[in-house]
Structure 1
Amino acid sequence: MTSRQEIRLVPITLRSLALAAGLASLAGLATAQEVTLRFQHFVSPKSANPTYFMDPWVKAIEEQSGGRIKVELYPAMALGGKAQSQYDLIRDGVIDGGWVIPGYQPGRFPEAEALELPFMMPKSGEVASVAAWNFTQKHLMDDFADVHLIAAHMHGPGLVHKKGPAITSVEDFDGLKLRGPSRPATLLLEKLGATPVGMPVPGFPEALAKGVLDGGVITWEMSPSLKLDELTDSHTDVAGDRALYNLYFIWAMNKAKYESLPDDLKAVIDANSGLMASAWAGKAHDTGDVEGRDAMAAAGNEIGEISAEETDRIEALGEDVTAEWIAEVTARGLDGAALVEDARAMVAAAVEQ
C-alpha cells in the first residue's frame, strides 16, 4: 500500500518533470529558430554596396524575420582570408555568406567572363545587373552549385584613374602600369598598350602610394574610400552609353547553413533574393557612382572623357579581345560565341525594360 508521504511526492515530481520538459522544449524551439549569420566583404563599410545594398539587406532580413535572424556584417575581410578566397570561405562554411568577385580567380568561372567583356554592359549598374541575373540563371548555376546564390550583379561603368593628366587617346595608355580587376579587363589594357597588373581592390591604394602603379581601372563609387582624390590626379571615362569594362559579383550563402534554416526563415532569405536583390545591388553602385564622381570633382581632380572617335578605336580593340576570348573558351569546350550572343541579348532586353 502506498504511504501518505509517497502520495504527496508523486504529483510534485510529475509537475516538476512536466515543467522542466516544457522549458527544455521552449529553449530548444528558440535555439532552432534563432540564427546568427556571419557575412563578410572586402571593402570599406562606407563604400556604396555596403551602404546602399548590404546594410539595408541585413536590416530587411532582421526585420522580416521578426528578429529571429541576426546578420553580422564584417567589412575588409575582418574574419580572415583574402578577397580571392571568398568563394571558398563561403562554400566551406568558414563564413556563412558574403560578397564574391568570381573574376578574382581567373579561369575558374570562365563563362562568367562573358559578362565582363569590353563594352558589353550599359553604364547603369542596375540595368546591367538585371542582365547578369538572367545570364546567371541560364549559364552559371552549375558553377555556383556548392553555395546558395542570393544575388548576381554588376557594378557601374569602370574607368581609368591615374596619376597625371587625363587620357585622351589610345596612345596615352602606352607603357602605363595599370591595375585591372579581372581577366577581360587586363586583356583590354594589354591591347591598349598598357602593362596590366591583376590586383584585388584592397591592394590598389598601397600600390599607388608606393609607385608600383601609375593608376588603374575601377568605378567612381570606390574612389572616395580608396582615397583616389589623393592618390591620383585624373579620372577618364569613354564616350557613349557602354562601359569600358564591368565586373561581375555574387552575394551568396553557405549552402548547408541555408538548408538548415526552418522553412519560414528560408522564405525571408528567398524574399530578398533573385532578380530584385540583384537589381538592388546594382542600383547601389549607381548611387555611389554619382557621389564618387562629385567627390573627385570637389577635390579638384581632372574629370575627362575620351572623344567619340578615340572611343571607337578602343571599342575596336575591345572587339579583338572578345573574338580572342571566344576562340579561347571554345577551345576549352565551351560555346564562346553563344555565351557572348546570350549576354548581348540579355543586356538588350534589360535596356529595353
Structure 2
Amino acid sequence: MHLIKHAAFAAAFTMTATSAAAQEVTLRFQHFVSPASANPTYFMQPWADAIEEQSQGRIKVELYPFMQLGGAAPNQYDLIRDGAIDGGWVIPGYQPNRFPEAEAMELPFMTTKSGEEASAAAWEFTQEFLMDDFADVHVIAAHMHGPGIVHKRGASVATVEDFAGLKLRGPSRPATLLLDQLGATPIGMPVPQFPEALSKGVVDGGVITWEMSPSLKLNELTDSHTDVAGDRALYNLYFIWAMNKDVYDGMPEDLRAIIDANSGMMASMWAGRAHDTGDVVGHELMAADGNEIAELSVAETDRIKALGEIVTANWIVEMDEKGFDGAALVDAAQGYVAGNIAQ
C-alpha cells in the first residue's frame, strides 16, 4: 500500500516538475490597439509564436490589447520600466519632450512610404542616439509605420488652403507642428481616443495610417482619405517594442538568447513590414466602402514639403537650445533613411 502511495506521489511530482520545466517564463506584453490591426496581426502575434516555438514552450508570451492590464497608452514606457507589465509597445512621442532626439525620425517627409525601410533606419538611429534614453528598459525593436494619411469628414483636401481651420488629430509633436504650419488646428491625442473624438465632433479628422483605418472604423467616421504625392511620407511615427529590464536580465541565459535572436534589426524590419502589409489591406477596405481616395498633386505636395522644411528648421533650433546638435540628428536620420532605400 505504501509503495502504491509512493509511486503515485512520485508520478504526480514528475508531472508537476515536467510541467514546470515546460514553461519557465510567462511574459505579459501589452498594447493599445485592436488585435486585428496590422502590428498585432503581422508582427506581435507571430513574434510571440516564434518565441514560444523556439523555446520549446519554455517561454510563453501573452498579448493584451486595448491596455487590458491597466494604465493609459501615453504611460506605457513607465509601466514597462516599473514592472507593472513585462513588456509592450511604446510610442515615445506620446510623452512630448521626454525623448526629444527620437523626434528626428518623425519630422515631415523624413521617411519613405515603406515602413520596412523606415524601420531599418529607425533601428540604426536608435543604436546611435537613443539607447541611453531607453536605458531603463530592454529594447527589442525600434520601428516606424508606413505613410500617414489625412482622413476627414467631407471632401478631401486638395490644396494647402483646404487645411485652414480644420481640427485634426495628430499623434506626435512633429505631426502637430506640421498641421499647425498647414493652417489646421492640431489636437494631439493617442490613437485610442481618435474614434470617439471623431464621433463627437471634437475633431474634423486626423492623420493616421491606412492600416489603422478599418479597426478605427474610419470608413464610417470619415469620408475621404488623402495621401501626398511621391515616395516620401507626410509624417511618420516612432515606436519601440520593449520589455522590463529586470525581467529580461532574470531569465536564464539560453532563454535570453531566444529573445535576442528575435530582436534588433530583423525584428525592427519585421515590425515595419507588418505595417506595410496592413496598409495594403486598409487601403483596399476604405476604397471598397466607397470612401473618397485622393492624392495631392505634386505641386501641392511641394508646397507642403516647403512648410515641412520650416518645421524641421525650427526643430533644429529648438534642439540646439536644449543642448543637442539638431542638425547632426537630422543629418543622421536622413542618412540612415537614404541608406535603407531599396535599390
TM bucket normalised to smaller: over 0.9
The match for 2:183 is 193
Contact 2:90–2:240, Cα closer than 8 Å, also in 1: yes
How do 1:64-213 residues align onto structure 2 when only pairs under 5 Å count?
A: 64-213=54-203
Note the alpha carbon deviations across 1:84-119, whole angstroms, 9 max, x for none: 000000000000000000000000000000000000
Residue 278 of structure 2: aligned partner: 288
Q: Is 2:215 the counterpart of 1:225? A: yes
TM-score of the aligned structures, taking structure 2 as reference length: 0.95
Tell me the secondary structure at the aligned position of residue 178 of structure 1.
strand
Alignment partner of 1:311 out of 295, 301, 314: 301
Structure 1, unaligned runs of 5 or more = 1-11
Q: Structure 1 vs Structure 2: percent identity of aligned residues?
A: 75
Q: Report the counterpart of residue 34 of structure 1 in structure 2.
A: 24
Counterpart CA distance in 2 for 1:186 and 1:48 is 24
In structure 2, the partner of 1:8 is: none
Cα offset for 1:66?
0.4
Look up the SS of the partner of 2:340 in the other structure.
helix
Deviations 1:220-254 (A, max 9, x none): 00000000000000000000000000000000000
Aligned equivalent of 1:246: 236
Q: Over residues 157-185 of structure 1, what are the superposed CA-to-partner deviations in whole Å (9 max), with x where a residue is unaligned?
A: 00100000011000000000000000000
Distance 2:117 2:145 in 1: 10
List 4+ stretches of structure 1 deviating above 3 A. 26-33
Shift in alpha-carbon separation, 1:175–1:58, aligned structure 2, 3 A: same
Q: 1:340 aligns with which of 324, 330, 340?
A: 330
C-alpha distance in 1, partners of 2:335/2:63?
35
Deviation per CA, 1:111-152, whole angstroms, max 9, x where unpaired?
000000000000000000000000000000000000000000
Distance 2:176 2:246 in 1: 35
What SS does the aligned partner of 2:308 have? helix
Cα contact 2:107–2:174 (8 A) shared by 1: yes
**Which sections of structure 2, spanning at least 5 residues, go unmatched?**
none
CA contact (8 A) 1:33 1:262 kept: no
Structure number, greater radius of gyration: 1
Amino acid at match of 1:115: M
Q: Say how many residue pairs are matched.
A: 334
Provide the secondary structure at the position in 2 that maps to 1:189. Answer: helix
2:233 maps to a residue whose letter is: A
- Alignment partner for residue 224 of structure 2, among 229, 234, 237? 234
Distance (whole Å) between structure 2 residues aligned to residue 109 and residue 184 of structure 1? 12
